A and B are shown apart, each in its own frame.
Chain A
């Protein structure tokens, strides 16, 4: 099973700041990594798939990069609605499909 480790667990930032979230895989997942955003009481929403492709309707301030074992989700300038929990997920080797433990982006 591929284990995904996200860091940091919590990121305390202000609106307008740049957010950099990390996801590290226990073995190469090539570029088969996605990022999701989840707000309280809501289902997760797909942001990025295959490491760097923005999903439909996702603003350009969200970008993904990386390949192999190290990946980054960057939010260039935080909007108030971006404070949420973010998860990475791999589809390189399954079953099982696996998620990281999440990074909470909170208002400083």
Chain B
């Protein structure tokens, strides 16, 4: 059974860097899938943040691209998100997800439980 689990600080100060990690169990991140992040501000809809392919190629939401880094660590079977220079607008529940555009279920088929990150001084 594939499971994703987010971890990281729940509170980040404005202008600092938000760092989250997603631990993957029951599946190797080296297999042909994308591993991504989606966020949801309180009471609002879903926004795709970005994804990393098993090959290491990255794909970012243009609205966040200048502040965003997503990386894959195959030795630890996890992937990470770093978002720099955060503001209150980055306050959201952050979900890590698996998705594919060519193998099996071609959508966000596996989701982590989500972790709430608040940007505040």
Contacts and interface: CB of A to CB of B under 8 A. Distances in A.
A87 B45 contact: yes
B61 A55 contact: no
Query: Interface residue tally of chain A, by bracket?
Result: 20 to 34
B26 interface: no
A96 B109 contact: no
Nearest to A36: B108
Interface in B20-45: 45
Given A43-B95, A95-B60, A97-B51, 9 more contacts: A34-B106, A46-B109, A49-B105, A55-B109, A89-B108, A91-B106, A91-B107, A95-B48, A100-B45
Interface of A: 1, 32, 34, 36, 43-46, 49-50, 53, 55-56, 87, 89, 91, 94-102
Interface of B: 45-48, 50-51, 59-63, 95, 99, 101, 105-109, 111-114
